[in-house]
Amino acid sequence: MDLRLNGKTALVTGASRGIGLAVVRTLAAEGVRVVAAGRNPGPELAAAGAKSVAVDLTDPAGAAHLVTEAVAELGGLDILVNNVGGGDGDLPGGFLDQSDAQWAEVMDLNFFATVRVTRAALPALLERRGAIVNLSSISARVPLGSPIAYATAKAATTAFGKAIAEEFGPRGVRVNTVSPGPVRTDMWESPTGYGAGVAEAMGVPHADLLAGLPAQVGMVVDRLVEPDEVAALIAYLASPLAAATTGADHLIDGGAVKTL
């Protein structure tokens, strides 16, 4: 299917690995010129044909710097994918175990980075009547106690997308949210990531945790979601084929969320 994205321009945050890297590759394959942002951009981004920018989006000045670099490189902006985030630093533990500093760190990465980049990018997106896709999580709909700060930040991200869609839709900018379930990324698979921390806290081998995770979270498919599957949904929502789709939160969770 031709998504009619050839020649468009995009900025993707959190692009160095996982879902972000998959989004860069998918958009580039559709003929999109991409600026890819990450704390430590790797050679994979260049191999995908993207221009990489090293930036820390928990720094309040980082968003404006990034958008300025992207618009200068691309000559304008059609698509913004706010993928930056992660639960890696929010290790298992209850509410009373989390300090203000830990909450601030998780909120900065998973919510305020999206707010700041969106604010900086909107003038350019308004010029092109562009599209924004924000990455949330099923944790926003089904918070299970831990990771509590991550789930709260993602709930805020989902609400933010809805509000921005309402305000800027009449001016031509579409905003959608994508909420994955467990995705086969380093967050779950790395021996030092969140999944490994959960396994240790539960006293089970990491491999056993991953094998049982789809059933444990209620997925009706027997595997984790693939990053390329999430990227394909994001590319569609950013494309002209989804011109009437805005203000919506799109689950890609293998059937884990049971509510309407």
Q: Which residues are catalytic?
A: 150
**d(C-alpha 87, C-alpha 201), whole Å:** 15
CA-wise closest residue to 151 among 204, 216, 86: 86
CA–CA–CA angle 121, 127, 132 (5° rounding): 45
List b or e across 114-148, with b for residues whose CB sees 16 or more CB atoms inside 10 angstroms. Answer: bbbbbebbbebbeeeebbbbbbbbbbbbbbeebbb
CB atoms within 10 A of CB 31: 14
Residues in Cβ contact with 92 at an 8 Å cutoff, skipping those fewer than 6 apart: 146, 147, 197, 198, 201
CB atoms within 10 A of CB 24: 30
Give first-to-last CA distance, the chain, whole Å: 29
